[in-house]
Amino acid sequence: MIRPPSVNPSPQKIEIYENCYIPRAIELATAAHSGTTRGDGKTPYIEHPRAVAQLVTTCGGRFETVAAAWLHDTVEDTSLTLSEIADLTCPEIAAQVKKVTFPNAPNRRELMLEALPKLDIHSRLIKLADIVVNMRDLPNATTWSAERQKRYYQRLVEQRTALTVDRHNCHWQGLWMLEKLFDLYAANPLVAHYAYTSSVKQ
């Protein structure tokens, strides 16, 4: 496991997160996304944050980041609020979720592309893991039209570009590994042709 550039957590903190905060984050995410599905119309939506959290864990994400990965879509897509996350887990997790939450506004795309390069290393890890999983699952979005898949592909590539890590200056290689994984999924012939089609109206 690749460890992030942070102070090693105390045994007490490890126990609190492993036995309390992370299980609670999983429960909250499961309840919040209950009844919703992924783009195939069949897979429970909770499988998405599960996959994101697994990538974050594999890349050495700290405990707050793993918990936030489980909850990263709840504020945008469900009725769960940041205040509730802070009350039911801890303020640190809520703060991490807030950094990767973008408002559902008409200019959301522009706001996101402006904010992504400014994210701290832990927030970048969540967002990169998020778009890796989304790109991996895009061929399975069978309920979407080809036009919607194309737009989504282009959005993901834009976000990956905005999150690009300078690996010569970044001493945490987990982010760079996620970039390479994204590129691998983006090369899937089932979606890669969208990179060569004419641009669509945004």
* DSSP codes, 25-87: HHHHHHHHTTT-B-TTSSSBTTHHHHHHHHHHHHTT--HHHHHHHHHTTHHHHSS--HHHHHH
CA distances from 122 to 19, 43, 114, 191 (A): 21, 28, 17, 28
Contact 53, 12 (CB under 8 A): no
Q: Which of 76, 84, 137, 158 is catalytic?
A: 76
76 belongs to the catalytic site? yes
User: What are 171's two structure tokens?
Assistant: 């001493």
40 belongs to the catalytic site? no
* 19 exposure class (CB count in 10 Å sphere: 0-12, 13-18, 19+): exposed
Kindly provide the b/e burial profile for residues 170-190, where b requires at least 16 CB atoms within 10 angstroms of the residue's own CB: eebebbbbbbebbeebbeeee
User: What are 64's two structure tokens?
Assistant: 């707050």
Q: Which of 18, 64, 73, 77 is catalytic?
A: 77
Catalytic residue set: 76-77
